């Protein structure tokens, strides 16, 4: 029996592996990736590497074994994810895994923005499979916003289409640590966790915090969805991705990503990372 992390070379997967290495022996870990070269550093630390691609079901055969505890990190190919996710669930069922923890979306079936659709359908497929599951309904990451700080400072504004809606973000590392705690713990079978930050903020409040930390006046420019999509496309974002981001902002405006049930901080045994701390960390990473 092993602890298996799919999508292990992605931003979240790498953080989960880091947290797992603090809690268990590398010999107990399996990292699943599409590219062996990208996982070379993990192999060097004693983690077993298995190569598979969600979009090629035949590659998933033999990735899981009976009793494995698996973190199934959702795919990133919008429009193709449900088919790919069903292939992972099928492989996990056939292998007889002990737990399949899936990174879903905050609110699950109550979420109405388009990004949630494939997550909701995946949850339904997982529940119907009979595989012992754990739904990690992740809210938005701080990094969704702090990752764009260079652009924010370049244009001198935070731009979005979320109106006065609030969003309860947490640091990606917070979600990773929670996943590692679940994978190395017990009693999480057939559980659902609504994971989000301890407090929710508006985009105007985010802009005000960026202003405070930089000493610059950075406003929040709230745009109609169509204009926001056009700006993202002009900046090189694929049209479908831009539309999904704007649609998620509409969900934020409706309050769909503002919930603060406290599941994440309870799993962590500590408060979630404040957005101000992640802004400060991101600013340190920017070129002088």
In angstroms, how far is CA 141 from the centroid of its own chain? Answer: 7
Q: Which residues pair with 58 in a beta bridge?
A: none
pLDDT at 77: 85
**Residue 193 structure tokens:** 């966790």
In the block, tokens 């033999």 appear at: 62
Q: What is the pLDDT of residues 179-188, one digit of tens each?
A: 999 999 999 9
Nearest residue to 262 (alpha-carbon basis) of 192, 194, 183: 194
Using CA atoms, how far residue 27 sits from 31, 32, 37, 81, in Å, is 11, 14, 19, 30
For the chain, the residue count is: 288
Q: What is the DSSP string of 54-112?
A: TTBGGGGTTT--TT-EEEEPPP--TTTHHHHHHHHHHHHHHHT-SEEEEEEETTGGG--
Per-residue pLDDT band at 262 (split at 50, 70, 90): very high
Q: Is the pTM of this model over 0.85?
A: yes
| For range 80-101, the mean pLDDT | 96
Confidence class for position 161, pLDDT limits 50, 70, 90: very high
| Of 199, 220, 223, 221, residue with least CA distance to 211 | 220
By the 8 A CB rule, do 167 and 111 touch?
Answer: no
Calculate mean pLDDT across residues 72-78: 91
Residue 288 has pLDDT above 80, yes or no: no
For residue 96, give the nearest of 52, 124, 129, 54 by alpha carbon.
Answer: 129
């Amino acid at each position: 029996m092993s602890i298996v992390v799919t999508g292990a070379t992605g931003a979240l997967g790498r953080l989960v592996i880091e947290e797992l290495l603090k809690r268990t022996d590398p010999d107990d870990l399996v990292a699943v990736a599409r590219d062996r070269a990208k996982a070379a550093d993990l192999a060097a630390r004693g983690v077993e590497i298995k190569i598979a691609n969600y979009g090629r079901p035949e590659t998933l055969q033999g990735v899981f074994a009976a009793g494995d505890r698996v973190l199934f990190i959702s795919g990133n190919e919008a429009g193709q994810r449900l088919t790919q996710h069903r292939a992972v669930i099928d492989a996990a069922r056939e292998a007889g895994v002990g737990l399949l923890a899936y990174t879903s979306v905050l609110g699950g079936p109550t979420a109405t923005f388009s990004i949630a659709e494939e997550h909701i359908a995946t949850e339904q497929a997982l529940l119907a499979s009979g595989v012992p599951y754990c739904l990690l309904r992740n809210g938005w990451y701080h990094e969704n916003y702090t990752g764009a700080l260079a652009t924010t400072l370049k244009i001198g504004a935070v731009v979005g289409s979320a109106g006065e809606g609030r969003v309860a973000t947490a640091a990606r590392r917070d979600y990773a640590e929670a996943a590692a705690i679940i994978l190395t713990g017990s009693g999480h079978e057939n559980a659902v966790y609504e994971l989000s930050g301890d407090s929710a903020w508006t985009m105007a409040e985010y802009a005000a915090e960026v202003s405070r930390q930089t000493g610059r006046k950075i406003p929040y420019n709230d745009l109609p969805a169509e204009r926001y999509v056009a700006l993202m496309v002009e900046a090189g974002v694929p049209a479908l991705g831009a539309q999904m981001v704007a649609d998620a902002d509409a969900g934020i405006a409706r309050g769909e990503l503002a919930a603060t049930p406290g599941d994440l901080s309870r799993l962590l045994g500590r408060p979630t990372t404040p957005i101000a701390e992640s802004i400060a960390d991101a600013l340190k990473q920017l070129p002088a």
